[in-house]
């Protein structure tokens, strides 16, 4: 396995601006992940369910509240800052929003060249040559080397972001919704580019997103995250018709979820939040049409089934 996580957990503390009460947000909860070499592994889930937090934890860009991350057998969570810095070129992130990831005051040549110069110790001449090569790889005209990010379109900025991430020759890439803000035709070109580069560089990619068609078409295996927990892992070509978790089935439109009162009162929202954060049971109980008594009390374990793993007490009975 190239990347493995053991009980990876990240809890943030959030202070209410009105009541000043402190609330715990379990952004990522007890995630055990194994990503084999040379594959594209998908992570899907709705907004705010912990996808980016997991991506940052997997690349040791953030410290977990508890749990471990292993990269190619090395425990990243136990490394000193110095050792981690030396290993960092091997794993890189394509950030969700190139607008915030690219320094607006640096030219494109500096954005791509800076890590080569200061992390890899390249000479000025080597940097110039490498920047040129990277721009060619991401199919961006060399004349953009002296431009600033604001002079580029969304798709061009995303190409720069990919070039920056690939310039250090990583083995593992976390692509956090790399094309979600782009329109469909440009998104398609960026995804094709990623696939081409994956083959050329023998990359392993953790592809984060919420566009089901995209994820289904380019990934080998997909994990579904719900409120910080993995609730199902299944081969991409089976997810649409053979998934077992009610949430995954609902994502693919097999049925509608129970909707809460469309405009719950603030008190009701607070109650739901408190129960969701502290519940010992299934965190999907509020919306699940199949909820039983047991669901409110017992947290379901991930259980193997013929096409993958699922976290639901009744996965055998429901379908
Ligand atoms: N630095 C932080 N401080 C406090 N809470 C945070 C922080 N980062 C993330 N969170 C919270 O953790 C939860 C998960 O956030 P995260 O950004 O990982 O979600 P996401 O699945 O990537 O969402 P999106 O699809 O919108 O990008 C959210 O409730 C978010 O508000
Ligand atoms: S454990 Fe219960 S609430 Fe959770 S998904 Fe399964 S049936 Fe629904
Ligand atoms: Mg995100």
Task: Tell me, yes or no, whether 222 and 90 share the same domain.
Answer: yes
Question: Nearest Cα to 297, choosing from 275, 270, 315, 319?
Answer: 275
For residue range 188-232, what is the model confidence (pLDDT) as tens digits? 888 888 888 899 889 999 999 888 888 998 999 999 999 999 999
Residue 123 lies in a domain: no
Please tell me the distance between residue 308's alpha carbon and the centre of ligand 1 in angstroms.
27
Last residue of a domain, one of 226, 258, 281: 226
- Residue range(s) defining the domain that contains residue 266: 244-318
* CA angle (238 as vertex; 186, 203 as ends), nearest 5: 50
Check which CATH number belongs to the domain holding 18 and give it: 3.40.50.300
Nearest-angstrom CA–CA distance, 159 and 173: 14
If you average pLDDT over residues 95-121, what whole number do you get?
88
Question: Nearest Cα to 243, choosing from 232, 227, 258?
Answer: 232
Q: Give the model's pLDDT for residue 267.
A: 66
Average pLDDT, rounded, for the chain:
88
Residue 87 lies in a domain: yes
Q: Give the model's pLDDT for residue 160.
A: 92
Q: Which two tokens stand for residue 211?
A: 């566009």
Predicted confidence band of residue 100 (pLDDT cuts 50, 70, 90): confident
Q: Is the CB of 231 under 6 A from ligand 2?
A: no
Predicted confidence band of residue 13 (pLDDT cuts 50, 70, 90): confident
Predicted confidence (pLDDT) at residue 173 exceeds the cutoff of 90: yes
User: pTM, whole model, 2 decimals?
Assistant: 0.90
Task: Tell me, yes or no, whether 41 and 165 share the same domain.
Answer: yes
Q: Position of tokens 């937090």?
A: 53
User: b/e per residue, 60-87, with b = 16+ CB within 10 A?
Assistant: bebebbebebbbbeeebbebeeeeeeee
Last residue of a domain, one of 169, 198, 226: 226
Helices (H), the chain: 51-58, 81-87, 98-101, 108-118, 124-137, 154-166, 184-201, 212-218, 239-242, 246-251, 266-278, 293-297, 315-318
Count of other CB atoms within 10 angstroms of residue 144: 18
Phi, psi of 61 (to 5 degrees): -85, -10
Q: Are strands 303-305 and 229-235 parallel, antiparallel or unpaired?
A: unpaired
Please tell me the distance between residue 70's alpha carbon and the centre of ligand 1 in angstroms.
23
Task: Tell me, yes or no, whether 168 and 249 share the same domain.
Answer: no
Atom of ligand 2 nearest to the CA of 300: 1
Task: Tell me, yes or no, whether 257 and 295 share the same domain.
Answer: yes
For residue range 51-88, what is the model confidence (pLDDT) as tens digits? 999 999 999 999 999 999 999 999 999 999 999 999 99
Residue 286 lies in a domain: yes
Please tell me the distance between residue 226's alpha carbon and the centre of ligand 2 in angstroms.
12
Residue 186 lies in a domain: yes
Q: Give the model's pLDDT for residue 254.
A: 74
Query: Which one is predicted more confidently, 272 or 300?
Result: 300
Predicted confidence (pLDDT) at residue 178 exceeds the cutoff of 70: yes
Last residue of a domain, one of 198, 226, 254: 226
271 Cβ contact list (under 8 Å, min separation 6): none
For residue range 116-160, what is the model confidence (pLDDT) as tens digits? 888 888 899 999 999 999 998 888 999 999 999 999 988 899 899
Q: Is the CB of 314 under 6 A from ligand 2?
A: yes
Instruction: Give, as one character, the DSSP assignment of residue 170.
Output: -
Predicted confidence (pLDDT) at residue 26 exceeds the cutoff of 90: no
Task: Tell me, yes or no, whether 190 and 76 share the same domain.
Answer: yes
For residue range 240-279, what is the model confidence (pLDDT) as tens digits? 999 999 999 988 887 776 654 555 566 666 666 665 666 6
Nearest-angstrom CA–CA distance, 167 and 301: 40
Task: Tell me, yes or no, whether 208 and 167 share the same domain.
Answer: yes
Query: Which one is predicted more confidently, 238 or 115?
Result: 238
Residue 116 lies in a domain: no
Number of domains the chain is built from: 2
Contact 34, 2 (CB under 8 A): no
Residue nearest to atom 5 of ligand 2 (CA): 312
Q: Give the model's pLDDT for residue 273.
A: 64
Residue 147 lies in a domain: no
Q: Which two tokens stand for residue 214?
A: 């995209």
Task: Tell me, yes or no, whether 288 and 177 share the same domain.
Answer: no
Residue nearest to atom 31 of ligand 1 (CA): 48
Predicted confidence (pLDDT) at residue 288 exceeds the cutoff of 60: yes
Q: Which two tokens stand for residue 233?
A: 């892992």
Residue 98 lies in a domain: yes
């Amino acid at each position: 396995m190239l990347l493995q996580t053991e009980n990876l957990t990240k809890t943030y503390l959030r202070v209410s601006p009105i009541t000043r009460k402190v609330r715990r947000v379990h952004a990522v909860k007890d995630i055990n992940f194994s990503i084999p070499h040379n594959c594209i592994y998908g992570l899907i889930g709705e907004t705010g369910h912990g996808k980016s937090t997991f991506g940052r934890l997997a690349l040791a860009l953030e410290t977990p509240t508890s749990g471990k991350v292993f990269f190619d057998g090395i425990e990243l969570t136990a490394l000193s800052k110095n050792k981690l810095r030396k290993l960092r070129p091997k794993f890189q992130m394509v950030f969700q929003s190139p607008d915030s990831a690219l320094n607006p005051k640096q030219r494109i040549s500096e954005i791509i060249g800076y890590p080569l110069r200061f992390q890899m110790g390249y000479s000025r001449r080597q940097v110039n040559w490498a920047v040129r090569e990277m721009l060619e790889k991401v199919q961006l005209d060399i004349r953009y080397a002296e431009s600033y990010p604001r002079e580029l379109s969304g798709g061009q900025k995303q190409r720069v972001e990919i070039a920056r991430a690939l310039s250090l020759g990583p083995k593992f890439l976390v692509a956090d919704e790399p094309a979600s803000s782009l329109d469909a035709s440009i998104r398609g070109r960026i995804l094709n580019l990623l696939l081409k580069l994956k083959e050329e560089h023998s990359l392993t990619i953790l592809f984060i997103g919420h566009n089901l068609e995209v994820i289904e078409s380019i990934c080998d295996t997909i994990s579904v995250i719900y409120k910080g927990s993995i609730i199902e892992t299944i081969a991409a070509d089976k997810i649409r018709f053979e998934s077992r978790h009610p949430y995954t089935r609902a994502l693919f439109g097999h049925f509608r979820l129970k909707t809460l009162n469309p405009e719950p009162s603030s008190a009701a929202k607070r109650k739901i939040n408190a129960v969701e954060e502290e519940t010992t049971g299934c965190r999907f109980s509020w919306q699940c049409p199949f909820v039983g008594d047991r669901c409110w009390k017992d947290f379901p374990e991930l259980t193997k089934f013929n096409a993958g793993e699922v976290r639901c007490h009744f996965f055998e009975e429901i379908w």
